[in-house]
Structure 1
Amino acid sequence: MMRAYVEGIGLLGPGLPGWEQSRAILTGDCAYVASPAVLTASPLLPPAERRRSVPTVKLAMAVGAEALEQAGRDAATVATVFTSSSGDPDTLHQILETLATQERDISPTRFHNSVHNAPAGYWSIATRCREPSTSLSAHDESFQSGLLEAAAEVAADGWTVGLIAYDLPYPEPLGKVRPITGAFGTALVLTPQPTGRCLACLDIDLSRGDEPVSRMADIGLEALRVGNPTARALPLLAALARVCAGGSPERVVLDLPPSGRVVIRVDAPCC
């Protein structure tokens, strides 16, 4: 089992415009109404990088910055784990379109943004962070894998880690073979020791059991959870929202195919 304390949370997705604005929706106290997430270039980036930033970078920067601000941490001092199932779908679509022409000339900016760790590069430029950074992908289990990686770094290395997860839909025709619902991103700042800023405590374990995966009670949120790989985080975010509001400890089970589960106990930070 690995233990980590949550100091900050970031969230941006359809009908979920930020962690603070979305807490009542996640607890079920307000109705969920789906609407497209608004992505804007981060003001943390220099003007040249701001112009070049693609939707994936905008989404990752937005949720990461929200989580770090809530944690009260200097982003330059925090290690990071970036995780996404698909990288930047728009850029990949544009490159494939270009390769299908006779010219086949790919712009350096487009190629640069196609690399899976491009958001990590923009993050390091914006925050001047030289701490360790990992970028990974594990198809529909990318959030779960990223959470395990971040928790392992917290537990084994004693680092404070920013987990930043994001996924966006592909344009057609790729969207037909890899359908992803909306743009969804989330971030957690995890630390090895409790501090006065901690929101919750996570005890994270792996299981080979067949216990049912946690789902969302709201039909719209459940459709989002199933439709976007990063939105597999929604049951954990909902549990965090309830615990932060004074609720009892909760147990969250996330899928980890072919036969595994990530089991998370969410409790108050004084645990």
Structure 2
Amino acid sequence: MREAVVEGIGFWGSGLPDWDAACAWARGGVHPAQVPARPAPLLLAANERRRAPATVAVALEAALAACEAAGREAAALPSVFASTHGEMSISDYMCTTLASDPRAVSPTRFHNSVHNAAAGYWTIGTGAHVPATAISAGRGSFAQGLIEAMAQLAAGSEAVLLVAYDGPACGPLGEMAPSEGLLGVALVLSNSPCAGLPTLRVAMAAGSGDGSADAPGPLTRLLAGNAMQPALPLLEALALERPQVLLPAGPEQWLQVGIGHG
């Protein structure tokens, strides 16, 4: 079993533009009146913000919010970026264009199609020279990202930034791997004990059930269509001060997360 302190939380979901809004919704069903369709992360210059796909925007918005909440310098944190399938709308565009008119592929959209696009924009925007990891593991992507972040802490990193995100899918890819809306969550995890901050204790567990007897919570019901939905039970547990949660980590594998609330 490994432990880590949650120093900062970042959140951006369709209809919920930050962690405070997510907590207000989870605790009392309070919804912000006006929310933009996508974030505009100030980390990027204006021209980069225009070129960046929505998944990059939501990942960077959540990541920067987590670093600010933790009081950590973003450029100094090794990072783990987890996405179920990467930028699915661009993947659909690429496949469609290659099948119909291969010479018409946009170089800009091509460079945004790689799975580590968000990590790349993050390192450019922050000027970071520390390691950045990109992970994809299907429905277990968030849990595997959390495992990787905990492993880096165990290997000697003082603190690690975990970012998980997904956006809408479309076309034939959307039929095979459905996802809708935008969702980005970020955690700054550290080995530094601090009174009043949540602590995660994680361990692997085997099983074949649905992983939890609890009914879906408010965040999960609101954002259930997004492919990164498996991250939401942990966010709900943090918002509602629940003691534990199970996260899907792979075929018949679950990540058991115990939560101390300070």
TM (normalized to structure 2)? Answer: 0.90
2:151 alignment partner in structure 1 = 152
Q: Provide the aligned length of Structure 1 versus Structure 2.
A: 261
- Paired residues of 2:206 and 2:253 also in contact (CA < 8 A): yes
Distance 1:76 1:267 in 2: 28
**Deviates further, 204-213 or 109-118:** 204-213
Query: Partner letter of residue 213 of structure 1?
Result: G
Displacement of 1:212 in angstroms is 5.3
2:258 aligns with one of 246, 251, 265 = 265
- 1:16–1:37: 8 Å Cα contact kept in structure 2? no
Aligned partner of residue 43 in structure 1, secondary structure: coil
State the Cα distance separating 1:174 from its structure 2 match. 2.5
Does the Cα contact within 8 Å between 2:83 and 2:142 map onto a contact in 1? yes
Runs of 4+ in 1 over 6 A off after TM superposition: none
SS at match of 1:44: coil
Gaps of 5+ in 2: none
Counterpart of 1:5 in structure 2 is 5
Partner residue in 1 for 2:175: 176
Aligned partner letter, 1:130: H
Q: What is the 5 A alignment of 1:104-123?
A: 104-123=103-122
Call closer, same or farther: CA 1:233–1:220 in 2, change over 3 Å.
closer
Structure 2 residue aligned with 1:203? 201
User: Could you say what the CA RMSD is over the residues aligned between the two structures, in angstroms?
Assistant: 2.4
- With over 3 angstroms needed to count, the CA separation of the structure-2 counterparts of 1:200 and 1:234, relative to structure 1, is same
User: Which stretch shifts more, 209-218 or 36-45?
Assistant: 209-218
Residue pair 1:41, 1:53 contacting (<8 A) in 2 also: no
Deviations 1:206-260 (A, max 9, x none): 11245752345447734734x33322111111111123xxxxx601111223222
The share of aligned pairs that are identical, in percent, is 40
Give the whole-Å Cα distance in 2 for the aligned partners of 1:36 and 1:86.
Answer: 25
Question: In structure 2, what is the equivalent of residue 235 of structure 1?
Answer: 233
Spell out, residue by residue over 1:7-64, the C-alpha distance to the aligned partner (whole angstroms, 9 max, x if none): 111111133221011213223x22579x987313322112332221111111111111
Give the alignment's TM-score, normalised by structure 1: 0.87
Q: Secondary structure at the match of 2:244?
A: strand
Please tell me whether the aligned partners of residues 220 and 233 of structure 2 are also in contact (alpha carbons under 8 angstroms): no
